[in-house]
Structure 1
Amino acid sequence: MAANKKKILVTESMSKTGRALLNARDDIELLEFPNMISSEDFQAMLRAQAPVHGVALGATRFGEVELQAAGDMKVVTRIGVGYDAVDVPALSRHKVPLMVAGTANSPSVAECALFMMLTLAKRAAEMHALVTEGTWPQRLGKLPYDLFGKSVLIVGFGRIGTRTAKRCQAMEMQVLVYDPYKSAADIRAAGYEAVPELNAALARADFLTIHCPKTPETVGMFNGALLRLMKPTAYLINTARGGIVDEKALYDALASGRLAGAGLDVFEQEPPPVSNPLFKLPNVITAPHVAGVTREAVDRMSEQTARNILSVLDGDPIQQNVINQDVLG
């Protein structure tokens, strides 16, 4: 490699659109690594390729050990918006920005949340079975439900929560928003009801959809005590991060009839064991953490990731996509 070239490691899940932006630069060398690479193998790769100046991560963990192995890291990016697998304080100590893909996958996650609400309320699997299994005459005993007129509680009013709210409002739902970090005035100005108390709002909600980040504050947030506040006819949707919902408590609520159903794109352990008791419940629908990974979203996220990397290498970081703002300036 020429001495003036910057070495960038990108996960294999990065699409052609992002790679093309980086490959168009004659001062950058791209190297690929598997999206599900082990921490040990990733660290070994960093050491073997050092100095490494940038990395585009999928699910791979990144922290102090990886920074030391890289030798001269300038920017760490995620092809996505979550960063719970990244040690942000470690990056800040080394003055390395952590960047995310901004709004690139927000519409996709919002669509998935609405899809899960509709799939559960319209009893899609049961309706399909009534036709294909010859049990059509039983249809009046398994009537679906409308979203129209129902209350939806959106927890987290950021990039994804705001888009989910718009889609729920289009379904003529009553939209409640809980986000202690957003002003009630801003939420009301957007056309929604700001709810200051989560407990009281849970008791009103026909649907709960979670769009807050996974932090020490939100791990286990939806435990047995909170789930008991919900209506037995209510549905819970989690397209945020596994661990925000206590899975054992959720199973107990669903199995006992204290909660009508759940849609889960994320789990405490990923991939989850096939023995997970939630999978045996008829009122649970699941997806393999792909809410924000549509064909279009991958292209948008990859392109934004490439632009994030280039902005740092060119000395002008895209500030709104930097998580650890303390490294700027």
Structure 2
Amino acid sequence: MTKVVVVGDRLVSSATLKEAAGQLNIPGPIEVVEFQWHGDLTKDQFQEKILLIEKGGPEAVDIPEGILPEMIEADYLLVHIAPVSKEMIAAAQQLKLIGTCRGGIEHVAVDAVKEKGIPLIHVIRNAEPVADFTLGLIFAETRNIARSHQAVMAGKWRKSFSNDPYKTTLANLKVGLIGLGYIGKLVVQRLNGLGVEVLVYDPFVDQEAIVAEGLQVTFKALEEVFSEADVISLHVRVTPETTNMVNKALISLMKPSAYLINTARAAILNKGDLVEALKEKRIAGAALDVIWSEPIQQEDDLLQLDNVTLTSHIAGDTIDAIPRSPYLLRNVLNGYFETGKSDMLIRL
């Protein structure tokens, strides 16, 4: 008997995870033990739990009651954003794999997982929406769509903007991507379809494999992407190495006509260095769907700027992406079981 423990939450039900777990291509009969983590909270209350996890990791919140005894003989653990804590990993004596149906892994005690050598696979359940939204932010910022709308709604017929000297069509711009994971590849596909030149920095990808996939990109060093691209879009996870990765040193390499887009995580970007560059007009603008403090505070310096587009962390917010994510996880896991390889396998 293969034992699979699933933990649902307010956004992804344990019933859906259980159904997906029953469709895994693993040996023998499957016993699925299900837990529900704070499924009874309101949307705002659950968002508070998510923020606690994103700031403090899995140890910042409680784990499902009764899960520790079940972890002892668990072979597989599937979750959405429910915590996978050090205590849970310590209890597991035969865990073969952890699967999570979300892009970020802040809810997982990664060091404990690494220490035990347990494979960790995630799926970016909202990759398509985020890729679409990234393009939307590029258009919104470079062509002043949001700023013009805001002015018109306020009764102003605005025709002049701070990036007037640089305005041009997307086809005339080079877009640089920092990170070429699942979302990054989808962004490349869209840019390729629009005939846009794409520069990429990602030291971890197999460049030959990228070419074999038919993606048209030019690989560059990090500093080269920042100095040559007209639009730079961030698509990396938050790790100790990537925290504040984009700072004054890199921003200073950007052209005065260049834009910075972030639909990944705020911590990748040094806030003070970005705000300073925007205030001094050393870059043309920025568009951010992720903010260092969410919701944004009224005294935040970003709200005083006229060369930034801000959205309320909605890049991945579509009606179907999150509820159906267990089935995407099922497909990715079955592919991994068949080949022993996966783009969604986290490098620990």
| 1:1-329 to 2 correspondences below 5 Å | 7-14=5-12, 18=17, 20-21=19-20, 27-34=31-38, 35=46, 36=49, 39=59, 41-43=61-63, 45-47=64-66, 50-52=69-71, 53=74, 54-58=77-81, 60-68=82-90, 75-101=97-123, 104-136=125-157, 138-139=158-159, 145-185=168-208, 190=214, 192-269=216-293, 273-305=297-329, 319-320=341-342, 323=345
Q: Aligned pair in 2 of structure 1 residues 215, 281: CA closer, same or farther (>3 Å)?
A: same
Would you say how many aligned residue pairs link Structure 1 and Structure 2? 318
When the two chains are superposed, the root-mean-square deviation of aligned CA atoms in Å is 3.6
AA aligned to 1:251 is: V
Does the 8 Å CA contact 1:63/1:91 hold for their aligned counterparts?
no
Query: Are the counterparts in 1 of residues 8 and 17 from structure 2 also a CA contact under 8 Å?
Result: no
AA aligned to 2:159 is R
Superposed CA offset, 1:220-272 (max 9, x none) = 21110110111122111112222211111111111111122212223445555
Q: Which runs of 5+ in 1 are unaligned?
A: none
Determine if contact 1:11/1:57 at 8 Å carries over to the other structure: yes
Q: Is the 8 A contact 1:237 1:264 kept in 2?
A: yes
Q: For residues 163 and 212 of structure 1, what CA distance do their matches in structure 2 show?
A: 14
**Secondary structure in 2 aligned to 1:243?**
helix
Cα distance, 1:69–1:10 mapped onto 2, change above 3 Å: farther
TM-score normalised by L of structure 2 = 0.75
Give the superposition deviation at 1:76. Answer: 3.0
Q: Displacement, 1:18?
A: 4.3
Query: Once the 2 structures are TM-superposed, how far is the Cα of residue 118 of structure 1 from its aligned partner?
Result: 0.8
1:284 Cα deviation (Å)?
2.1
For residues 202 and 281 of structure 2, the distance between their equivalents in structure 1, rounded to whole angstroms, comes to 28
Aligned equivalents of 1:123 and 1:18: distance in 2? Answer: 42
Post-superposition CA distance 1:182-229 (Å, at most 9, x none): 355555664534243222332221100111232332222111011011
Query: Residue 244 of structure 2 contacts residue 268 of structure 2 at CA under 8 Å; is this kept in 1?
Result: yes
AA aligned opposite 2:70:
P
Indicate if the aligned counterparts of 2:11 and 2:323 stay in contact, CA closer than 8 A: no
Q: 1:145 to 1:289 in 2, by over 3 A?
A: same
1:80-113 CA-partner distances (Å, limit 9, x unpaired): 1222442334124345432212x64322221111
Q: Contact conserved, 1:6 with 1:28, CA < 8 A, in 2?
A: yes
What secondary structure is seen at the aligned counterpart in 2 of 1:169? helix
